[in-house]
Amino acid sequence: MQRSTERILSTHVGSLGRPHDLLEIMREKEHGRPYDADGYAKRVTTAVSDVVTEQVHAGLDVVTDGEMSKVSFLTYVKDRLAGFDASQGERLMPPSWQVEIDAFPGYYEGYLGKYKDQVSPMMTMVCTGPISYNGHEQLQIDVDNLRAALAGQPDGAVTEAFLPSTSPSGFGRNEYYANYHDYLAAVAEALREEYLAIVDAGFLLQVDDPWLIEYLSENPDTTPEQRRADAEQHVEILNHALRGIPPEKIRLHTCYGLNHGPRIHDLDFRDIAPLMLKINAGAYSFEVANPRHQHEWKIWRDIALPEGKILIPGLLGHASNYVEHPELIADTLELYAGIVGKENVIAGADCGFSSRASFHPEVHPTVVWEKFRALSEGARIASERLWR
């Protein structure tokens, strides 16, 4: 993993808006209707090429495939893990989301109604048999598409590239294993094959892990002590899945889940960061542009960043079409650099810009590119100040 040794590097979280013609084919595929399989494969390839080129043109240093092939950052694993069946109408609804929705039912009734534009609803997967990984061919396609897209860029245009993969938690319900621990361990062991393959292919692995925060967040059905124990179990099992992979090959991304809303039930990041740092990654990506968390740069005065680790604070909001000013981005980067060291900071985004394949993502794709340009410009401004 490259560090900000000569200037502040820039990156993002991963998912980007898919082209509408790709979404139309994906919708047919996801609903089990006839579709042009060859045309779909070719369109994914060109979409990855286009989205990598756009990232380069926007000035980002560390890029990815935009998750063009995935229906969501989370439930794409339904096609890569054996042992699961689709639930019948059981939508994913984390407890912390429900707490927020119950507090503002009028607002969220309209907000969540927008998700009808998704290619496919996010449904709970039900574990009904032994879990194993069977997504090798699909992952290889992702690897090949990203390699081809990178090969088409000018020399030196890309510092490095990453591929996202989900963490073991959040998408499934156990009806097979004796207990939740055994179920989660089986999921993690299966996903380890994807983790290893991404690193073996020469890319950075990004583990998308919003469930770390979900385990710790408000839930009327559990106690704070149980939530803490569940989160620690999650970290232990994820670390076991990552065993033997050099931490400098791993980025960990965590976030709060719900996007544009009051968000008054978000847990303080001070209560999350120490546990996040126990995950054996080399860099940690988290929300900062979210107004509920902009002030939390101060926590790093008290929480020691372990030697060799990198912070990727999110400086772009993933639920707002405002384009952040480069000077604000530069100022925030300087705050973090002043506490943990400039070589230990990479400029990032709060979350993905289309974590679910949708015809109407919350931030319009044309605005996303402007946000990325602002991020790279803010990193340039901060670098001039920090290295002058």
pLDDT in tens, 33-68: 999 999 999 999 999 999 999 999 999 999 999 999
The reply to whether CATH 3.40.50.1220 applies to domain 9-387 is: no
Instruction: Express each pLDDT in 252-295 by its tens digit.
Output: 999 997 678 888 889 999 999 999 999 999 999 999 999 999 99
pTM: 0.96
Q: Which residue has the higher pLDDT, 120 or 222?
A: 222
Instruction: Tell me the domain boundaries of the chain.
Output: 9-387
Tell me the pairing of strands 250-253 and 204-208. Answer: parallel
What is the distance between the alpha carbons of residues 252 and 281, in angstroms, rounded to a whole number?
6
Q: 136-151 and 180-200 are packed helices; what angle lies between their axes, rounded to 10 degrees?
A: 30
What are 82's strand-pairing partners?
Answer: 132
Residues 38 and 374: beta-carbon distance below 8 Å? no
Instruction: Express each pLDDT in 327-336 by its tens digit.
Output: 999 999 999 9
Number of C-beta neighbours around residue 220 at 10 A = 8
Question: How far is residue 250 from each of residues 80, 215, 220, measured CA to CA in Å?
Answer: 21, 22, 34
